[in-house]
Structure 1
Amino acid sequence: MTRTRDLDVVVYGATGFVGRLTAEYLARHAPAGTRIGLAGRSRERLVRVREGLPGAADWPVLVASADDADSLTALANATHVVVTTVGPYAKYGIDLVRACAEAGTDYADLSGEVLFGRESIDRFHDVAAASGARIVHACGYDSIPSDLGVHVLHERVAADGEGTLADTTLVASLRGGISGGTIDSMRTLVDTVKSDRRARSVALQPYSLSPDVAAEPDLGRQPDAELVKGSDISPDLKGMTAPFLMASTNTRVVRRSNALRNWAYGRTFRYREVMSVGSSPLSPVLAAGVAAGLGGLIAGLSFPPTRWVLDRVLPKPGAGPSEKTRRTGHFTSDVHTTTTTGARYVARIRAQGDPGYAATAVMLGESALALALDHDVLPDAAGVLTPATAIGYRLVERLRGAGFEITVRRT
């Protein structure tokens, strides 16, 4: 790639909790010679972050703010790639998407916000496609394990000549804390759908991120929150599974990947996500408890009296768990599929580290490095994309190199 800009990667929001973790990951793992900068509202705070990073003494700092469009335009024109951790993205993200789309600058974020993704697509997909920019949302635990899990399944099934994907279910298991940013995004979503009927309709549409909703197959109900018997997913799974908090975002990202690839996963590709609660005789009770808890959280955020209480006990934006908690966390995502020929496969993506913090910093950091350094071997695509369609197998290789297990086996 011809280097015509001052920087390869800029971390926007570097003074926030996940922003600092991402900057630290890049400081430790970016190849020598990678030109990295830090951006945010406060030069003084950025300098303090830089002082705590190994080998980053000469990294430039750029002052930019979500309420200053000119500063975001300058930021986008200074670098090949912007990675942003500044959310909720529906509040603070769209003008940076605009700046990158217009400048032909690649962009990666941690958004798990369907309404923000839809706005980004509607307003800037064509702009980014014309400029050559890759706008890549959901480059963390939302939604890389889901998107890449289905991607590697598709590649293996196609190589084996076993048709296309049909019924496909991700079973998540994890240990880690919930992000304050995720909670803040949930607050924003709840407030928006309460006051905007159209937004509520978009949020509930299973193909809400599709480039062409009318062209999507009619596969009946595809609920985001349900109790599913393990044996209904795969014959070797026992017990009951619970709803998965991130399913409403991840499923739509994966379906967008399918549509952007001209439905290569299959026209009968049905996709859902659930969470494991173990296989003991108590799993139905545990699964029901998880479902009730998730429903109670959303309901609690919807009503002022309970919201007041929740706002005082839930994690705050910018806060995060201790280093020990981040280090001892982990996640496993097993993606089970039955193909149109009746063959069964399972893909596994597993990594050490709190999924919402430590592992997410790796996923976002490697996404940024792939966009910046591997441009010439990435899929030939531009616009508002997904991790699978923008980076694809190169990201699989990078994450394996970073210690992730990413495998596919026939069952």
Structure 2
Amino acid sequence: MAEREFDIVVYGATGFTGRLVAEYLAAEHAAIRWAMAGRSEAKLAEVRDLIGAPSDTPLLLADSSDPASLDALAAKTRAVVTTVGPYQLYGEPLVKACVAAGTDYVDLCGEPAWMHDIIRTYDAPARASGARIVLSCGFDSIPFDLGVYHLQQAAIASTGAPITQVKGRVRKMKGTFSGGTAASFAETMKRAGKQPEIIGWLKDPFSLVPGFEGPKQPSGSKVVFEADLDSWSAPFIMASINTKNVHRSNALLGHLYGEDFVYDEMFLTGPGEQGESFAKMIANDKSMSENPPKPGEGPSKEERETGFYDVMFTGLTKDGERMTASVSGTRDPGYGSTSRMIAEAGLCLAFDVDRDTTPGGVYTTAPAMGDALIKRLQKHAGLRFAIEG
């Protein structure tokens, strides 16, 4: 890639999550060449001053309704971090611009129908231009995608073979999902009403792996008692998108986990009557559909900084021994941690992963950045990856 003016540009820097990304870069990565982008120069300047960024931080005008402005943005930077969703409404023009310019791109997308379209339309052009388009670089799905990858790497190193069935289980979590997540779900349902085939994509765990049909997967849709974990488990709201990304990663890694790989995600609630009651409460929670957070709004700084999550990934090795990995994070998963994860993903593409290792294409995080991103997240973003046994 020819020398660019910027290492990274935050597109959507005046939104709630985009502002957090910009604030993080200003505080933790001041030495990089970066810029803030959005529709209004006045709002960008207001946010720049609010977050304490230097007064000479470049401000770029760009709008999804103005393709020329996106082309100009993409041509100036090595990587773009975009928090502007729902992506099925506003995302494709920026992907198109980045692919044309050979510019790396990361987003927070959890919209499988749109992702299906982007893979189908832009994977081949991105391969040709060298652009690395990496989807789902927030709480969905970095801890889960890299958590499975971390476990499988350990299993292969220890036994010479991957674990064929992995359970992803959220053990603890304090925090909120973003308003963008709720808005994206609503837009997906609207589109499904017009395109019934989308319902099939949403149900199919392999819908992001064109041409591949894997084995039947657990549904994770009901409250169950898992004797091997001595705990009740409830459905996990992010499982639908996370499982799709994990299976895409497996395919892009040359089916490193096996073509017969089975994976599901649930929320652990503990044993006994208390665990069962908690699981049923989670299963019956309708707050995301009936009273979702609004885009552009989010938790206070105190709420973001006191949030946390802890997810385990477990399965039996080829020798019949249980192996468990975990990914834990400080800060609220939907905002505080997500803003750091997507920033580090963009920086990882810009600085750590060369194009011989990761050529152009539409990716998930594990095959695009793998160990390099794990290293960054542990060093800078408050995540911890561990093998527990």
TM-score category, normalised to shorter length: over 0.9
Paired position in structure 1 for 2:222: 226
1:242 counterpart letter in structure 2:
A
Deviation for aligned residue 1:384: 0.5
TM-score, normalised relative to structure 2? 0.95
Deviation for aligned residue 1:202: 1.2
Q: Contact 1:148/1:387 (CA < 8 Å) preserved in 2?
A: yes
Paired position in structure 2 for 1:53: 51
Paired position in structure 2 for 1:14: 13
Q: Contact 1:211/1:256 (CA < 8 Å) preserved in 2?
A: no
Paired position in structure 2 for 1:325: 303
Deviation for aligned residue 1:178: 2.4
Q: Evaluate the alpha carbon distance shift between residue 280 and residue 224 of structure 1 in structure 2; reply closer, same or farther with a 3 A threshold.
A: closer
Matched, 1:337 2:336: no
Paired position in structure 1 for 2:387: 408
CA distance in 2, matches of 1:118, 1:194: 17
Deviation for aligned residue 1:225: 2.0
CA distance in 2, matches of 1:31, 1:229: 49
Q: Evaluate the alpha carbon distance shift between residue 93 and residue 56 of structure 1 in structure 2; reply closer, same or farther with a 3 A threshold.
A: same
Deviation for aligned residue 1:387: 0.7
Paired position in structure 1 for 2:33: 35
Q: Contact 1:378/1:394 (CA < 8 Å) preserved in 2?
A: no
Paired position in structure 2 for 1:392: 370
Matches within 5 A, 1:194-343: 194-213=193-212, 216-217=213-214, 219-231=215-227, 235=228, 237-293=229-285, 296=286, 301=289, 310=290, 313-343=291-321
CA distance in 2, matches of 1:109, 1:387: 11
- SS of 1:100's equivalent? helix
CA distance in 2, matches of 1:277, 1:289: 10
Deviation for aligned residue 1:408: 1.4
Deviation for aligned residue 1:373: 1.6
Q: Contact 1:378/1:391 (CA < 8 Å) preserved in 2?
A: no
Deviation for aligned residue 1:280: 4.5
Q: Contact 1:331/1:355 (CA < 8 Å) preserved in 2?
A: yes
TM-score, normalised relative to structure 1? 0.90
Q: Evaluate the alpha carbon distance shift between residue 241 and residue 157 of structure 1 in structure 2; reply closer, same or farther with a 3 A threshold.
A: same
CA distance in 1, matches of 2:313, 2:231: 17
1:252 counterpart letter in structure 2:
K
Matched, 1:66 2:64: yes
Q: Contact 2:11/2:80 (CA < 8 Å) preserved in 1?
A: yes
Deviation for aligned residue 1:264: 0.7
Q: Contact 1:167/1:271 (CA < 8 Å) preserved in 2?
A: yes
Matches within 5 A, 1:349-388: 349-376=327-354, 379-388=357-366
Matches within 5 A, 1:101-250: 101-172=99-170, 173-213=172-212, 216-217=213-214, 219-231=215-227, 235=228, 237-250=229-242
1:329 counterpart letter in structure 2:
G
Q: Evaluate the alpha carbon distance shift between residue 109 and residue 353 of structure 1 in structure 2; reply closer, same or farther with a 3 A threshold.
A: same
1:344 counterpart letter in structure 2:
R
Deviation for aligned residue 1:221: 4.2
2:327 counterpart letter in structure 1:
I
CA distance in 1, matches of 2:183, 2:316: 36
Q: Which runs of 5+ in 2 are unaligned?
A: none
User: C-alpha deviations, 1:158-185, integer Å up to 9, x for none?
Assistant: 1112422211111112100221111101
Deviation for aligned residue 1:189: 1.4
- SS of 2:55's equivalent? coil
Deviation for aligned residue 1:283: 1.4
CA distance in 2, matches of 1:280, 1:343: 26
2:193 counterpart letter in structure 1:
K
Deviation for aligned residue 1:277: 2.2
- SS of 1:210's equivalent? coil
CA distance in 2, matches of 1:42, 1:55: 17
1:261 counterpart letter in structure 2:
L
Deviation for aligned residue 1:243: 0.4
Paired position in structure 2 for 1:306: none
Paired position in structure 2 for 1:305: none
Deviation for aligned residue 1:377: 8.4
Moved more, 368-377 or 321-330: 368-377
CA distance in 2, matches of 1:150, 1:244: 16
CA distance in 2, matches of 1:340, 1:297: 41
Q: Which runs of 5+ in 1 are unaligned?
A: 302-309
CA distance in 1, matches of 2:157, 2:359: 22
Please tell me the root mean square deviation across aligned C-alpha atoms, in Å.
1.7
Deviation for aligned residue 1:341: 3.4
- SS of 1:281's equivalent? helix
- SS of 2:255's equivalent? coil
